[in-house]
Each structure stands twice: as C-alpha cells, then as structure tokens.
Amino acid sequence: MDGFGYLGPYALEWFNMLVRWLHVITGIAWIGASFYFVWLDNTIRPPAPDSDLAKKGVAGELWAVHGGGFYHPQKYLVAPATLPKELHWFKWEAYSTWLSGFALLVIVYYLNAQAMMVDRSVADLTSWQAVGIGLGSLVLGWIVYDLLCRSPLGRHDLAFGVTVFAFLVASSYVLTHLLGGRAAYLHVGAMIGTMMVANVAMLIIPGQRKMVNAMLAGEKPDPVHGIKAKQRSVHNNYFTLPVLFIMISNHFAMTYRHEHAWAVLAVIMAAGVLIRHFFNLRHKGRVEWKYPAAGVALLLALAVAIAPKAPAVGAQQANAAQDAAQFAQVRAIVGQRCVSCHAQQPTQAGFATAPAGVMLHTSELVSQNAQRIYQQTVQLKAMPLANLTHMTEAERAQVGAWFEAGARTGQP
C-alpha cells in the first residue's frame, strides 16, 4: 500500500486499547467511590445526643483505620455551620467513565456498524439506522428512568425497582431484535451507564451546588437536595453489577448469541442486583444470605438452561482418504470464511491483528483450534462476525460433521 495507509487499523487498535484502559481506570474510580460512600452511609452511627458532634449537626460518624492511619469521617444532617475552604467534589470519576465509554462505542461499534452492530439474521439495517437506534436508546433510557423517579412511583423503592428492571428487560428484548447480540448488550449497558452519569450531572451535583450556594448566601440549605441525591446515588449503586457484567459480556458469546439473549441478560442482571443488595444490607449489620443464595441459584440455573448439547460424536473411521477429503472441505471453508480476520496479517478492514489472537491460516492451526471453530461457528453461530463473509448453513453443517466425527485430518 502507498504511504502509511496500512497503519490505519493498527493505529485504531492502539487508540481502542488506550481508551479501553482509560475506561477501566475511571470506572474503577467511580464504582469504588460509589461502593465506599454507600458503605459509609450504611455504617456510620449517630453520635451521643449530648455530644459536641450532635450539637454541631453531625448525623453520623465512623472511626476507621487504613494504610497505617486512623480516619474519622462525619456526615452532617444537612450541612456544617460554616462552609470549609476546600471541598472535594466527586464528579469527574463519573464523567470520565461515561466519556471514555462513549468513545469506545464510537470506535468499536459506530465506525464499523455493519460488522459490529448489524446482524441481517435479526434485522436488515443500514449503518446509520443501527447507530441511530443505539443513540436513541441512550436518550430514551434516561428520559423514561428520570420520569419514573419524579413520579409518585419514585417514593416506593421496591415498586420503583421492579418497574425500572422491567423497563430494562423490555429494552433488552427490543434491542436484541434490532441489533446484533454484542451491540444489543453493550447498548443496554450504555443506557444504564447514561442513567448513572446523568444522575450525577443532572441532579446530584446541581443539588449539591444549590446547597453550597445557599450557605455562601448565608441561607440554610434545603435538605430536599440531599435526599434526592441520596436516592439517585443508591440507584447507581444497584446498577453497578449489571453494568460490570455487560462491560465484559462481549467475551461470552454463549450469552449474547443465545436465542433468548434478552432473557439471559435479565437473569444475570437480577442476580447482580440480589448480590449487591446483600452487601448493602450487610453494611447495615443485617446478614441476609438468602439474597446471594438466590443470585447464585439464578446463575447456576441459567448455566444449565443455556448449556449447548454435547456433539454426537460419530463412529471412528479407518479410511484416511475420507478423513483427508472431509478435512480439506473444512479447511477450504475456514480459508474462505474465517481467515480474512484470523491470520497473521488480516485482510478484513478494521483488523490489525487476529481477534483474540486466534489464527487459522494453516492446516495445523485449523486442527489445533477445532473445538473453538466448532463452538463459534456451529454451536453459537457467533462467527464469522456479523457473518460478513456469508458462511452458509450447509458450511456450518460440514464443520459440525467434521468435528463430531472426531475432527480428524487424515494424517497419521
């Protein structure tokens, strides 16, 4: 190729890696802060009624030791009598996580929508239609969630939680019937992440600013802002485990490629909420093992329910010529349908290296990766990606028959 055009996919892969690394770093910071402050709110205890702390308006305090030092955090019922000179705001962790996550959506999905978002066996969409559906889901998700929070339902935690969960499951159903499985899952996660960051940007931080401005003006802050911020902060806390699973879900085709992928995601999200609820109760001194037990039971039941059927391995054949002919057919299918991505130097646009480091450009590599080829092309039908190379059902059947007969090559 002329010039440095061949470096385009390589440079994009570096950009992808660095932005993904940033997303993980900022996500750890944000979720870590969320976990810590929910733990702190649930663990602090009110001071003695006649103590100096109580007279200063302290609602709760806690002594802790960490890193060789002692800490004494205190929470005021509304605000301290005087505003401190230095006040730390927890906001950039959230903003940076969302911005880096959205950048990843653009890099991985929106710039290559036909490969990463469109699955013609699900819906025959143009790239712009797929991207529009993705962006629309983020906006619609926040609008519906925020309206539910502001409605009378928002005052009833359990009913509200069930309703939001039902909305997320319905969104999963719709997205998995419009987009490819990976893209559908990632956009459910992005929708939840958008709700979380909008809680920070649209309500938590503005409410805190109003309280600070009231103090600067010599007025008493309105406690309603703190109450609303606490509610949204708790919502964010329950969202975290489902979002964390979705962040890694693209590595597990057994979930997003399932016939009922939306239901699979619903079960995993429910398990995450139940497990998170256990820890939140534990911070308050209540050990309710039924919640993590129910979460684990859901995951085990799901693992059994979606387990692939064991291949019906055929009888051993002694005809090496037939084995060699069958392998030659499979080798040709892999060469035509898979090697454009899975080679030392991929020819498929957008790929600088073989996905997951799996290379299939030689007979030895095809034989070595027989289990993986069978799983991805026959059991899950996750590959070729978006079926860009148009692997037919007959070809998948040929690969399946070869593997189920023992994946023999005809070589001694």
186-210 pLDDT, tens per residue?
999 999 999 999 999 999 999 888 8
Record the tokens describing residue 362, joined without a space: 């030689």
Q: Residue 33: CB partners within 8 Å, gap ≥ 6?
A: 90, 93
Q: What gap in Å lies between CA 343 and CA 300, rounded to an integer? A: 36
Number of structural domains (the chain) is 2
Span 126-155, average pLDDT: 96
- In a shared domain, residues 127 and 151: yes
Tell me: do 282 and 325 sit in the same domain.
Answer: no
Half-sphere exposure in the Cβ direction for 298 (13 Å, CA): 19
In a domain, 285, yes or no: yes
Q: Residue 81: inside a domain, yes or no?
A: no
Same domain for 207 and 353: no
Band (pLDDT 50/70/90 cuts) for residue 214 is confident
Mean pLDDT of 220-226: 84
Give backbone dihedrals phi and psi of 11, rounded to 5 degrees, phi first: -65, -40
93 belongs to a structural domain: yes
191 domain residue, yes or no:
yes
* In-domain check, residue 68: no
Query: Does residue 301 share a domain with residue 327?
Result: no
Contacts 24+ apart (CB under 8 A), 397-403: 398/326, 398/329, 398/330, 398/333, 399/330, 399/333, 399/334, 399/373, 399/374, 400/311, 400/374, 401/314, 401/326, 402/326, 402/327, 402/329, 402/330, 402/370, 403/311, 403/370, 403/371, 403/373, 403/374, 403/378
Q: Where does the pLDDT of residue 115 fall: very low under 50, low under 70, confident under 90, or very high at 90 and above?
A: confident
Choose one of 276, 305, 334: the last residue of a domain.
305
226 located within any domain? yes
Q: Which two tokens stand for residue 187?
A: 């956009």
The pLDDT assigned to 152 comes to 94
Show which of 305, 332, 358 is a domain's final residue. Answer: 305
141 shares a domain with 24: yes
Average pLDDT, rounded, for the chain: 87
Peptide bond into 384 cis (omega under 30): yes
Strands 69-71 and 58-61: unpaired
Is the Cβ–Cβ distance between 16 and 10 less than 8 Å? no
Whether the CA torsion 273, 279, 285, 289 is positive or negative: it is positive
CA distance 231 to 154: 9
Examine the domain organization and report whether 284 and 385 are in the same domain.
no
Q: Under DSSP, is residue 31 helix (H, G, I), strand (E, B) or coil?
A: helix
Are 136 and 161 in the same domain?
Answer: yes
Is pLDDT above 90 for 408? no
Q: What is the pLDDT of residues 158-190, one digit of tens each?
A: 999 999 999 999 999 999 999 999 999 999 999
Higher pLDDT, 133 or 54: 133
Nearest CA-CA partner of 330 in 398, 406, 377, 382: 398
Domain shared by 264 and 325, yes or no: no
**Please, which residues bridge with residue 45 across strands?**
61
Q: Looking at the structure, tell me whether residues 119 and 206 fall in a common domain.
A: yes
In which band, very low, low, confident or very high, does the pLDDT at 271 lie, cut at 50, 70 and 90?
very high
Pair 246, 327 in one domain: no
In a domain, 289, yes or no: yes
pLDDT of amino acid 21? 94
Least confident of 50-59, 86-95, 230-239, 246-255: 50-59
Q: Is 350 left (phi over 0), alpha (psi -120 to 50) or beta?
A: left
In percent, the amount of the chain with pLDDT more than 70 equals 95
Contact 353, 359 (CB under 8 A): no
For residue 76, list its beta bridge partners: 58
Q: Which of 281, 305, 329 is the last residue of a domain?
A: 305
The stretch 253-263 carries a mean pLDDT of: 92
| pLDDT confidence bin for 318, thresholds 50/70/90 | low
Closest CA to 244 of 326, 309, 188, 289: 188
349 or 43, which is more confident? 43
Q: Do 213 and 254 sit in the same domain of this protein?
A: yes
Print the domain residue range for 221: 7-43+89-305
CA 49 to the chain's CA centroid: 45
Does residue 375 sit within a domain? yes
Q: What's CA 2's distance to the chain center, in Å?
A: 39
What's the pLDDT tens digit per position in 352-384?
Answer: 777 777 888 888 888 888 888 887 888 777 788
**One domain for residues 232 and 262:** yes
